[in-house]
Amino acid sequence: MNHHPPSPVGRVLTVVLGALPFTVITVLVFGHWPPLARWDQSVAARAASYGAAHETVVDFWQVVGAVVLPWTSRAVILVVAAYLWHRRARLLTVWLITSAGAELGLVQAVKAIFERERPALMLVENDGFSYVSSHATAAFVMAGALGVVLPSVRGWRRRFRLLVLLPVIAVVWIASADRIALNVHYVSDVLGGWALGLAILTATSIGFGLRPGLRRRRRRTPSDGDGTTAPPRAAVIVNPIKVGDGVAFRRKVTRALAVRGYDDPLWLETRVDDAGNAMAKLAIENESDLVLVAGGDGTVRVVCSALAHTGIPVGVIPAGTGNLLARNLHIPLDLDDALERILDGRDRRIDLVRVHGDGLDTDRFAVMAGLGLDAAIMSDAPPHLKKQIGWTAYLVSAAKNINHPSVRVQITIDDAETIERRVRTVVIGNVGMLQANIPLLPDARPDDGLLDVVVIAPRRVTQWPIVVWRLLTRTNRADMYLERFTGRKVEIVAAVDVQRQLDGDPIGPGRSLSTEIEPGALTARVPKRR
């Protein structure tokens, strides 16, 4: 179900309803409504009588009052605001500070306007007017503010939020009870303080686009039809095999989107017979403003291919074994970090690579395509090990294939003369980093409009340490073991069938791969520059 933002009339009505309790209590207090007046006087008399006979109790409540000062509540709000500013939640930060400022100003204004005298038999000295209680108002605003922001704070699970919110709610009661126990406020002063706090939170929430009920209001984007506006909507394409706790994942993603003003997301799960193509097309048909994809490198590749040239931003949530595109776009592998960096990030146009070959329909990849040893490693990595130990399972497969036979290939780059080599593997890359930050193609950039090619050709197993050393040290010197090339079109033809891969996804044996760069074909949502 879509949740549409309130109309201007709805916003005004919400503010009026939020201010209604304060209005009613104020009218009853200064209209001297008999039941409320009797209640005030009765409680004040009991507090004065009990306090006069129990000085230690008065001392206790004085200590409590010194701890739960209004400035203590405001200081808590400022600390939380500073943390949110550090986490780049700028709107919530300004809202918190505005709410605290409104509380301070309005409490003083109400006191000055109504000039209600304090109870006659106060147990401690206290200056100023009685209505409303600044302690009660400040504590209520603090509790309500934390109730809004804690659901949006990364890493705060529900039980941890309760561990904070329950004591905060208790502080509201304690701060209010302290004022009554010391007989410096009537009960109606405390009730009026709570009601004023509610009115402040309601008004500032509406003003800043935050829905009452602790959810930020949807951001506005112009619709194409009648000139009205609608909230942005994201589509989330998920490979359920790669995402562990699907319920927790869905809850986190939905909450992160809602906090940033998105409507309820469109959830699409991949199938065994479709790694994401149909799901991406559904996202396009539903005019999604953002597509989040969580799965292995194969799922990411298929979704990115389908979204090429659409202009719809794609955010990659790492969930697979390699996560090569996410790594190369500097997206953190932690789910909470990744969501924050993507949703608060920027759009970047990156290249895709069109590819075809024998037995392979025209396709695209975003990371790397390979022919030979690297494809054999991807193909032979045990699935159970990938699930248990992640990308290090490829090391097991690499050890198994260390003596993979070389193959004679012909390589044609752009319109240059074809070269022949006997190789262990040839990799064509749009980006350059492998797992563990191994720079296979150190000069590759996802938006440079060029393909980078590495030809790896050690003759014997004993020569592999030389190759590995050159990769790790980013040596650019070309020799018989390792060569690099760049171009816009690259074609590789092998003398015999060999294993091939696209973005770490085995595509079966064949003899050819023909690739061509598509500059700026994909809009990727990436972290902001630091």
Please name every residue paired with 293 in a beta bridge, in sequence order, or none if there are none: 237, 316
Q: Find out whether 193 and 203 touch, Cβ atoms under 8 Å.
A: no
Judge whether residue 222 has pLDDT over 50: no
Judge whether residue 384 has pLDDT over 70: no
The two beta strands, 266-269 and 489-498, are unpaired
pLDDT score, position 397:
66
Judge whether residue 362 has pLDDT over 60: yes
Taking residues 291-306, report their average pLDDT.
Answer: 91
Q: In the structure encoding, which two tokens stand for residue 231, read together?
A: 């909230």
For 427, the enclosing helix (H) or strand (E) is strand 425-429
Residue 510: which residues within 8 A CB-CB, separation 6 or more? 357, 358, 359, 360, 497, 498, 500
**266 vs 237, 288, 308, 523, CA distance in Å?**
8, 8, 20, 19
Taking residues 18-46, report their average pLDDT.
Answer: 92
Confidence of residue 214 (pLDDT cuts 50, 70, 90): very low
Least confident among 59-68, 96-105, 436-445: 436-445
Q: Please give the share of the chain, as a percent, with pLDDT higher than 70.
A: 83
Taking residues 84-112, report their average pLDDT.
Answer: 86
Cα-Cα-Cα-Cα dihedral sign, residues 292, 297, 303, 307: positive
For 290, the enclosing helix (H) or strand (E) is strand 290-295
Q: Write out pLDDT tens, residues 449-498.
A: 999 999 988 877 777 777 777 777 766 666 678 888 999 999 999 999 99
Greater confidence (47 vs 1) lies with 47
Cα–Cα distance measured from residue 96 to residue 73, given in angstroms and rounded to the nearest whole number: 12
Number of neighbouring beta carbons within 10 Å of residue 232: 16
By CB neighbour count within 10 A (0-12 exposed, 13-18 middle, 19+ buried), where does 465 fall? Answer: exposed
Least confident among 80-89, 182-191, 493-502: 80-89
Judge whether residue 205 has pLDDT over 90: no
Quickly tell me which residue has 């080599």 as its tokens. 421
Cα–Cα distance measured from residue 312 to residue 309, given in angstroms and rounded to the nearest whole number: 8
pLDDT score, position 307:
94
Judge whether residue 292 has pLDDT over 50: yes
Confidence of residue 321 (pLDDT cuts 50, 70, 90): low
pLDDT score, position 221:
42
0.75 cut: is pTM over it?
no
Greater confidence (246 vs 123) lies with 123
Q: In the structure encoding, which two tokens stand for residue 290, read together?
A: 């953002």
Cα–Cα distance measured from residue 125 to residue 140, given in angstroms and rounded to the nearest whole number: 24
Judge whether residue 306 has pLDDT over 50: yes
